[in-house]
Structure 1
Amino acid sequence: MPSLHLNGITKQFAQHTALHDMSLTVRDGEIFTLLGPSGCGKSTTLWSIAGLHRPDSGSIAFGDRVVFDHGRVNIEPEHRNCGVVFQSYAIWPHMSVAENVGYPLKLRKTPRAERDRRVQEVLELVELDRHAGRYPHELSGGQQQRVALARALAHPPDMLLLDEPFSNLDAKLRDRSRQWLKTLQSQVGVTTVFVTHDQDEALSVSDRVAVMDHGKVRQVGTPTEIYEHPADLFVADFVGTANILSAEVVQADGTHAVIRVDGVGEPLKVPHTGKRLGPVKICVRPENVDIHRVVSDVDLPTAALTARVDNQAYLGDHYRYTIRIGGSPVIVTTTRPATTGELTVSLPPEDIRVFHEEADSNEENHHAPVH
């Protein structure tokens, strides 16, 4: 299957610029997710790849085949060979499962015997071969979604494009569908671009993720890189749950920084590649906040502090507490319940990410985006 290359893509609607000079490379055979809030440009990117939107500048190539080059090349959607699954599934209610799946082959005038063979093949792939004669109203939401996916795969596509395909499913079915899609995609090996605003979805199914905001790519990386080493404050705050606290860098040598955190008495030495001093924001994930079971003060780190629990929730496999550090709410998660209305905690220096508030570039931050 080919790789995908977007170079300098810009798209404007009236006075609104949906995409700003976007460049991305999706590797052959990977699941690449566009993640971001509503209106960030992820669906516009997907439809530009499919040929349903015409960008105002830039180029798009499937491997060595250029499908769009502004002013020179614009291959029509039906000739780009993209399999597309819409958020609404868009399967025809008057057609059976087999007829829906076989329709793209019928349009291409594929001989009947070959068409029947391929329909049977993809229905087995999506585990719907026993439902070939059923109609959409006789299927569950998850089954309808698999019909849409089977139809997208019926004529082997160069690119598989998925636009929020699980958004209409309930939570448990979404989780099962994600696992099923990842297994199916590894079997088929088709290069896949997946659009979602659901962070769990992006982290669980993707080989790599592009986090988007206002038509720009903030960071590209593996799920681990995106979650554990966010490139900037937006990525840190958008992906997962993040505690964002005010602090000040008082020393910095390009490898580490000494910071003072509001509400924490002792300064902390944290990994940081910048050298600038002054006010910053820091990010620490709830599961990384250290909780101390107090036996004696001797056992506690010097930066430990005891805070009253403002809020608590039992979530089955873990407990979620809200405390305050320096007047700012801090979420803490743990598998063990607090036995009093207080928690003694400390911030783990190795898991703290430092961001200069006014910096839009990443050169001063702890990690630059991975492209």
Structure 2
Amino acid sequence: MPDLTLTDVAKTFGDNTVLHELDLHVRDGELYTLLGPSGCGKSTTLWSIAGLHSPDRGRIAFGDRVVFDGGRIDLPPERRNCGVVFQSYAVWPHLTVHDNVAYPLKLRKTGRRERSARVHEVLELVELDHLAGRYPHELSGGQQQRVALARALAHPPDLLLLDEPFSNLDAKLRERARDWLRSLQQRVGVTTVFVTHDQDEALSMSDRIVVMDQGRVRQIGTPEEIYHEPADLFVADFVGTVNALDGQVVSATGRGGQVWLDGLGEPLDIDGENTPAGDVRVCIRPEQIVVHPNGAATAGVANLVTTKVRSFAFLGDHYRYVVGIGAGELVVRTPQRVDDGAELTVELPATALRAFPVA
């Protein structure tokens, strides 16, 4: 399978610039996710790759094969050989599962025997061979989604493009579907671009994620890099849950320093390269906050804050607490049970704190 390269791709609709000089490189066999809020340009990027939109400028190449280059080259969708699965699945209600999957092969005038063998092969791949004679209205939403995927794979695509394919599924089915799809993608080895606004989908499925905002790339990295080492406050706030507090870095050494949080009496130590000086937003994930029960030994432990529980919720495998800190609040996630209104000591590890300059 080829890799995918987008160079200086831009797209406008009227006065609205949807993509700003986009540069992306998807490696051969990679599952690459475009993640961002509605209107950030991720679907426009996908459709530009598929040939359903023509960018205003830029270059798109599948390996060595250029499919778009400004006004000089603009291959139509049928010549790009992309398998596309849309949010709505778009399976034809009047065709059986077998005939839905066979349709792209029929368009390419594949022989009947070869066509039948390929349909059987991909239906087995998506675990629907036993339902080949059924119609879409006789299938569940998850089964219809698999039919759409089988159709996209029927004629082996150079690229598989997925535009929020799980958004119509309920939460439990969506979780099973993404695990199944990730396993299938790895077995097939097809280079895949996946569009979603669901952070759990992006983190659990992707080899790499590009976080987009207003047609621009904010960060590209592995799920671990995106979550634990966000490039800016937008990424930190969009991916997962984060506490963001106003503060001021009063000493910066290049690898950390000390930060005052508004309303807190003592500064906190902060580690991390490129810690900015001056006014900042200090971020920490709820699960990174350490709860020390009353009476626990804390001698020598830095960045301790004594506070009170303002509210809590039980969420099965953990409790979610809101506690006061200085002039703000912290969300804390822990398996420990603490009574509402009780006093507790929390530790904000220096390695877990990240500071971003105030724009």
Asked whether the 8 Å contact 2:161–2:194 carries over to 1, the reply is: yes
What per-residue deviation string (whole Å, max 9, x for no partner) do you get for residues 249-285 of structure 1? 1111212222122244332232233364211111100
Which runs of no fewer than 5 residues in structure 2 stay unpaired? none
TM-score (ref. length: structure 2): 0.97
| 1:236 maps to 2:236 | yes
Asked whether the 8 Å contact 2:93–2:136 carries over to 1, the reply is: yes
**7-16 vs 244-253, which moves further:** 244-253
- The whole-number CA distance in structure 2 between the counterparts of 1:110 and 1:335 is 58
Which runs of no fewer than 5 residues in structure 1 stay unpaired? 359-371
- The whole-number CA distance in structure 1 between the counterparts of 2:72 and 2:109 is 30
Q: Show the counterpart of 1:336.
A: 336
| 1:288 maps to 2:288 | yes
What per-residue deviation string (whole Å, max 9, x for no partner) do you get for residues 36-72 of structure 1? 0000000000000000000001000001100000021
| Matching of residues 252-331 of structure 1 within 5 Å | 252-274=252-274, 276-295=276-295, 299=299, 301=301, 303-331=303-331
Which residue type is aligned with residue 50 of structure 2? A
**263-272 vs 283-292, which moves further:** 263-272
Asked whether the 8 Å contact 1:294–1:300 carries over to 2, the reply is: no
Asked whether the 8 Å contact 2:272–2:351 carries over to 1, the reply is: no
- The whole-number CA distance in structure 2 between the counterparts of 1:51 and 1:184 is 25
Q: Report the alpha carbon displacement of residue 337 of structure 1 after superposing the two structures with TM.
A: 1.1
- The whole-number CA distance in structure 2 between the counterparts of 1:282 and 1:33 is 27
Moved over 6 A (4+): none
Q: Show the counterpart of 2:134.
A: 134
Asked whether the 8 Å contact 2:218–2:235 carries over to 1, the reply is: yes
Asked whether the 8 Å contact 2:67–2:80 carries over to 1, the reply is: yes
What per-residue deviation string (whole Å, max 9, x for no partner) do you get for residues 203-261 of structure 1? 00100000000000100000000000000000000000000011111111212222122
| 1:90 maps to 2:90 | yes
**260-269 vs 36-45, which moves further:** 260-269
Sort the Cα spacing of 1:329 and 1:46 in 2 relative to 1 into closer, same or farther, 3 A.
same
Q: Secondary structure at the match of 1:237?
A: helix
Asked whether the 8 Å contact 2:251–2:277 carries over to 1, the reply is: yes
Count of aligned residue pairs for this structure pair = 358
- The whole-number CA distance in structure 1 between the counterparts of 2:181 and 2:298 is 51
Q: Show the counterpart of 1:352.
A: 353
Sort the Cα spacing of 1:34 and 1:262 in 2 relative to 1 into closer, same or farther, 3 A.
same
Sort the Cα spacing of 1:80 and 1:296 in 2 relative to 1 into closer, same or farther, 3 A.
closer
Sort the Cα spacing of 1:263 and 1:303 in 2 relative to 1 into closer, same or farther, 3 A.
farther
What per-residue deviation string (whole Å, max 9, x for no partner) do you get for residues 65-97 of structure 1? 000000211111100000000000000000000
- The whole-number CA distance in structure 1 between the counterparts of 2:218 and 2:205 is 20
- The whole-number CA distance in structure 1 between the counterparts of 2:298 and 2:184 is 54
Q: Show the counterpart of 2:175.
A: 175
Q: Show the counterpart of 1:248.
A: 248
Sort the Cα spacing of 1:192 and 1:340 in 2 relative to 1 into closer, same or farther, 3 A.
same
Asked whether the 8 Å contact 2:34–2:194 carries over to 1, the reply is: yes
| Matching of residues 10-49 of structure 1 within 5 Å | 10-49=10-49
* Aligned-pair identity (%): 63
